[in-house]
Structure 1
């Protein structure tokens, strides 16, 4: 069967409109995933700060779990500031890491949203 001229179909039979819809759907999903991951990382870092400042039991399983993830998510911010008070150190360093995650997440979602507004 012959293909109509101007139908927008590629050789494989996939129409440009279908590719465009898949592209936009994929970018929306990626934007949502980036937003959730970045927000979860910042929230976990904030919980670590609260647990530390609130004198949570360091031997508790929840506290250990949060601390281990917070150390990994801090991305080198753990020793950025070195105040004499250990609680202030956690607040400044892990708080800075949380802000970093929020800023990077915001920038990434804006870029992805902008890309999603353009046609391929």
Structure 2
């Protein structure tokens, strides 16, 4: 007879089986632990993506409001990346002052990314 003791299958002894062979001891695999680890990694990746998107948008706001040179490579790089990350928020409000427009529109987009990321992480963890 075999018996499961602490996740390990204990087999019959030499004399108990026909042919005198030994049964291998096999550990059972903890699928719940693996699933929890995968969900944790996925939640972390989603959180990092959302945080990086919000960071790029925030840096764009700081550079624009701070009066950074628009021809500088860093400023252009951040501006180029922030446009698609702003989704539909880049021209939501159209105040007279262009710096205020960037502050409001891209600031709202950054907050949006943080909120959506937080909700997505909670949903992912709920399934874990």
Settle same-fold status: TM greater than 0.5: yes
Structure that is richer in strand per residue: 2
| TM bin (shorter chain) | 0.7 to 0.9
Distance of 2:55 and 2:116 partners within structure 1? 14
Give structure 1 stretches of 5+ with no counterpart: 8-12
Q: Which has the higher contact order (CA 8 A, sep 6+)?
A: 1
2:63 maps to: 51
Q: Distance in 1 between matches of 2:30 and 2:80?
A: 44
TM-score (norm 2): 0.76
Q: What is the count of residue pairs matched by the alignment? A: 111
Q: Which has the higher helix share?
A: 1
Question: Helix, strand or coil: the match of 2:30?
Answer: helix
Q: What is the distance in 2 between the residues matched to 1:93 and 1:4?
A: 65
SS at match of 1:111: helix
Q: CA deviation at 1:4?
A: 7.1
Q: Can you list the C-alpha shifts for 1:39-82, whole angstroms capped at 9, x where unaligned?
A: 11101100000000011000101000000010010011111011
1:113 deviation in Å? Answer: 1.8
Cα deviation, residue 110, structure 1: 1.1
Task: Extract unaligned runs of 5+ from structure 2.
Answer: 8-25
Task: Please tell me the root mean square deviation across aligned C-alpha atoms, in Å.
Answer: 2.5
Secondary structure of residue in 2 paired with 1:80: coil
